[in-house]
Structure formats: C-alpha cells, structure tokens
Amino acid sequence: MRGTEVTAIRPPAVAGQFYPADPSELSRQLVALLAAAPAAHPPAPKAIIVPHAGWAYSGPIAATAYAQVAPARGTVRRVVLLGPSHRVALRGLALSGADLWTTPLGPVALDRDGTQRLAALPGLGLFEPAHAQEHALEVQLPFLQTVLGPDFLLLPLVVGEAPAETVAAALDTVWGGAETLIVISTDLSHYLDYQSCNRQDQSTAAAIERLDGDGIAGDAACGHNPLAGLLLTAKRRGLRIERLDLRNSGDTAGPRDRVVGYGAWALYETDDDAQAIRSLGPTLLDLAWTSIRHGLAHGKPAPVPAERADRLSHPGAAFVTLTRGGQLRGCIGSPLAWRSLAEDIVDNAFKAAFSDPRFPPLAESELDGLALSVSVLTPPVAMRFADEADLLGQLRPRRDGLIIEDGARRALFLPAVWEQLPDPRSFLAHLKQKAGLKIGHWSATFRASRFEAIEIGKNARG
C-alpha cells in the first residue's frame, strides 16, 4: 500500500508459455541453465544483452549472460530493463506505472524515483498497455530474481520507434554506479534458414562488438532500438564488450529450415571515461578561466568553442568552484546533464564568479590568488534506506556526493566537502541546514541520491 492507494501489480502474462508457471519447475530449470553456463569471471558486467524467446530455445544463451551477473548479488540494487514492443504500436519509450511486477518466484518492486526522473524526459511516459502482455521484459525477471535475489528494484521500459539518442539519454539519466545493471532484451534474425541466419547474425554480432548501432538493420534484431541506444552510450562511455554466446533455435530446440537467432554479450565499465575527462583537465580549466575573463570584460559567459574534443560535446554535468585564500569564493553547477559538458562548464564558471548569491560579483582585482576547480559529475542514483541510520551507514566518505530533497527543500554537497566534514553524521547535518531543514529533520518523504565526481584543478590563475 502507498498511503490509502491500492498497490498496482503487473501479473505474469506469459508464464506457462515462454517459461514454466510452476515455481518448483521454474527454479529447477533456472538452476540447470545457470549450471550449464560458463563460470563467471570478474568484474561483473555493467550491462548485458540477452534474448527473450521461449526458454527451450533461448534459455541456454541467456543463461551465459546471467551467470556473469551472479557475482554481483548484494551489489546490484537496481535493474534497468529495456526491450522492444511486440504487441502494441508505440512511439518513444513506455514506463510502467505499477508498484510491483510478479512472477511465479514472487514480486519485484519498481523503482518509482527512477520512473519519475525518466518521465520528465522527451519521448518517455507512462503507458501500461505496452507492458501488459509484453514478453520481452517478463522472461528476464526469473533469471534476475535467481541471480540477484529478491531485493533489487526494477525499472522496465518498452521501447517503440525511438532514435538511439532518446534511448541513450534515458540510460544516461539512470546509469548509476555498480548498484545498477542495464539489461537489453533482443532476439536477432527471424525465420531464415540455418545458414542464412548464421551469416546475418555474424554480421549483426560484428556491428554490436564495434558498438555500431547504425550497422544493425531493423530486421536483424527485434530489439534494435534499445540495442542501438545502449551501444551509443557504451561507445561514449568507453565500455568494453565481450561476446558470450551466439546460436539460434536450430542449435537448441527447433528445426533448421526456419530459425531465430540469439546472442548474449556482456559490457564492462573501464576507467576510460574518467581518464578521458582527466586528460582534458587543462582544456576544462581553460574553458572556465576564459569564461570568467570574458565575463569581466563583457558581462556574459564566453562563447563555447566550435571545435572541441568529442567528449566535451556530449552531455555532461559539472560544478565550478572558486576559492581565494583558502576560502570559498563561489560555486555553481548542474546536478544533471542536460547540455554539452563544454556548455555546462562555460556557463557555470561565469555564474560561480558573478551570480553566486552568497557573494558579490567577482572583481578583476580578485583574480590574483583566485583558484578554480571543475567537478564533472556522474548521474545521481536514488538511495534506498529505512531510516537516517541506514542512510548514514550507506554513505561512502570522500567518494559520495549527496543530494537531499524533501518537499520544496533541496541541497547538494560535492564529494570534496568530506575534506571539511569527514564524519557522515556531520556531513548530513550540514547538508540539511543548507537545504533549510533542521538538523534533526526526518520524514517519510525525505529522499537522497548520491553521485561521484571527477575533480580537476585547483589551479590558481597564472
């Protein structure tokens, strides 16, 4: 129950057709499928690509990916699950308004905070009919319940006609850290003869492994739209991809005159994105300093250079912090990425110098001794906690930035604030004060999200 509202439940639609409806038989099949899969090897994947046909046909292929996820049990707390729409004509991405989805293994709670965040994006909205009979997402749930346990939150999206950029924007919004797993549900070629299927699926696999969504024809994968969005995001973030399996129904349980292709891949995060941002450190600082100097001369931010590194043209969220004599002199930023990283830094540098309401506009005489740093933020991830003690116990000092919200009150601390407030209780108390809340404030509507930051600077003006 939520207050006096009735809990909305999405019941199983294809149990007994695509996978067993009997819980004991379902568990037996899952154990057998996972036991037959190659053993997991660290690290756990950030994202997997899995098929969604009846388990007799695609289950062994899907199991190769879920076996790699199994070591993340206890770490993964949220699964973002995307698949195509087979039964409803759909433009954009459909979110579910249910509170719970159920399978014969039990209920899975939905990530309501993530749903609300995504619903604010263009091309996304609540549309329950797209989910009611859709099998592409449902068949993944028993695998997830088995390898992750019952305590993860689910964020399901049915993807209709939607450009890769729209899907990528949704993924970027809920990307999170190690607590979030991305699952893309797609089969490959449909109803070709065995040899033709192998040729087409090999070509599709090559495009997937190049992270080339444009190289996948619409008839080569039924989930080509969610797949293209993941590949676009993966390419931008520098993910590494590994093929786990590539077979078809002629290899598993069907005849070879009309087969359906299946593949499984795992995608792994590397340090490439952080390294790419750090390698651009001098450029980021130069953008910020140039905007401040331009502001002193012209009263507005500097124009964003037309020619810039590719990473700077992608969406990014950044804070620009100014200090002088070791004391804060201005700090403005964006908690969410909504424009290019270059634009965000240029605008926030100007605002930190001239529009921070805590300080008068910067004067040219203050440039000597002024230091500047840029913090590039990862997307915020909503935290789950029972009470304040639980929240405090989850905080990672010197690593987590924190956003708190309650009603109209909202405040953010960057990870750098841990240097002044190393105790989690003091960190949270001061953040509450910043939000205009009392130190002892707590309520049922209190929310918190955490993020990380790549710190560049602090460089005094030379």
- Asked if 257 and 340 sit in the same domain, the reply is no
Per-residue pLDDT of the chain (462 residues; tens, 9 = 90+): 344 567 899 999 999 999 999 999 999 999 999 999 988 877 899 999 999 999 999 999 999 999 999 999 999 999 999 999 999 999 999 999 999 999 999 999 999 999 999 999 999 999 999 999 999 999 999 999 999 999 999 999 999 999 999 999 999 999 988 899 999 999 999 999 999 999 999 999 999 999 999 999 888 999 999 999 999 998 877 788 999 999 999 999 989 999 999 999 999 986 656 777 888 899 999 999 999 999 999 999 999 887 555 668 777 899 999 999 989 999 999 988 888 899 999 999 999 999 999 999 999 999 999 999 999 998 777 777 889 998 998 898 988 999 999 999 999 999 999 999 999 999 999 999 999 999 999 999 999 988 889 999 865 543
The predicted pLDDT at position 2 comes to 46
The predicted pLDDT at position 277 comes to 81
The predicted pLDDT at position 385 comes to 83
- Asked if 264 and 202 sit in the same domain, the reply is yes
The predicted pLDDT at position 278 comes to 84
For the chain, the three-class secondary structure string (H helix, E strand, C coil) is CECCECCCEECCCCECCCECCCHHHHHHHHHHHHHHCCCCCCCCCCEEEECCCCHHHHHHHHHHHHHHHHHHCCCCCEEEEEEECCCCCCECEEECCCCEEEECCEEEEECHHHHHHHHCCCCEEECCHHHHCCHHHHCCHHHHHHHHCCCCEEEEEEECECCHHHHHHHHHHCCCCCCEEEEEECCCCEEECHHHHHHHHHHHHHHHHCCCHHHCCCCCCCCHHHHHHHHHHHHHHCCEEEEEEEEEHHHHCCCCCCEEEEEEEEEECCCHHHHHHHHCHHHHHHHHHHHHHHHHHHCCCCCCCCCCCHHHHCECEEEEEEEECCEEEEEEECCCCCCEHHHHHHHHHHHHHHCCCCCCCCCHHHCCCEEEEEEEECCCEECCCCCHHHHHHHCCCCCCEEEEEECCEEEEECHHHHHCCCCHHHHHHHHHHHCCCCCCCCCCCCEEEEECEEEEEEEECC
Total domains present in the chain: 2
The predicted pLDDT at position 424 comes to 96
Q: Amino acid letter at 351?
A: K
Domain boundary among the residues 227, 242, 270 is at 270
- Asked if 207 and 291 sit in the same domain, the reply is no
The predicted pLDDT at position 456 comes to 92
- Asked if 71 and 106 sit in the same domain, the reply is yes
**pTM of the prediction?**
0.62
The predicted pLDDT at position 433 comes to 97
- Asked if 252 and 362 sit in the same domain, the reply is no
Phi, psi of 378 (to 5 degrees): -80, 160
Range of the domain at 60: 9-270
- Asked if 258 and 277 sit in the same domain, the reply is no
CATH classification at residue 351: 3.30.700.20
The predicted pLDDT at position 459 comes to 55
The predicted pLDDT at position 458 comes to 67
